[in-house]
Amino acid sequence: MRAIRLNHVAICAPDLEASVAFYCELFGMERVPAPRFPSQPVAWLRIGAQQLHLFERVGAPTYHHFAIDVDDFEAAYLKVHELEIRDDDTFMGGVFELPGGEVQMYLRDPAGNLIEVNWPDVSTLDRGVVTDIVRLDHLVPQDATAQSARLYPVSHDALKSERLGKG
């Protein structure tokens, strides 16, 4: 037996409707029907072929997070700044370039959950828009193994086709 894909991620949301609005408005997620559970209210949101499940409960762990790929990192960057929700404290920085050229930005939702927003290729970003990318290897020395780390196990071309709806 082996796992074949990630089905969903579940997080806490003390104000369920505020969290639903946040994810639908910022990331374009779609609310889908969810069963009723005896323990607490839930909401299910669709993101591509996966789902994000929100449970009406208090408490967001500091480092636990989930990651989202977006179709327009620059638009996400600008919206995150407009909403003033970027998290520059948890991992000691806000926008990182990884050794493989991928980009990560961290933010917090209304419930305090940490979200990582990813982009596959730093060279495709307008540095006039995304002005504060920090190379991770400028902060922390990367040995050969760390230099070979790749956030995306498929090629950048395949990801580009997927973002454009061709994959």
Tens-digit pLDDT profile for residues 70-99: 999 999 999 999 999 999 988 777 799 999
Q: Does 99 share its domain with 159?
A: yes
State the sign of the Cα–Cα–Cα–Cα dihedral 153, 154, 155, 159: negative
Q: Does 158 share its domain with 116?
A: yes
From the CB of residue 70, how many other CB atoms can be counted at a distance below 10 Å? 18
pLDDT mean over 93-118: 92
| pTM for this model (two decimals) | 0.82
How many domains does the chain divide into?
2
Q: How far is CA 82 from CA 92, 129, 164, in A?
A: 21, 13, 26
Q: Does 44 share its domain with 70?
A: no
Q: What is the CA radius of gyration of the chain?
A: 17
Range with the poorest average pLDDT among 54-58, 70-74, 151-155, 161-165: 161-165
Q: Does 27 share its domain with 104?
A: no
Instruction: Give the closest residue to 45 by CA, choosing from 75, 66, 76, 73.
Output: 66
Rounded Cα distance between 126 and 143, Å, is: 29
Largest CA distance in the chain: 50
- The residue among 59, 82, 104 that closes a domain is 59
| Residues of the domain holding 116 | 62-167
Q: At what angle do helices 16-27 and 73-83 cross, to 10 degrees?
A: 140
- The residue among 59, 89, 107 that closes a domain is 59
CATH of the domain at 38: 3.10.180.10
Query: What is the amino acid identity at position 47?
Result: I
CATH of the domain at 125: 3.10.180
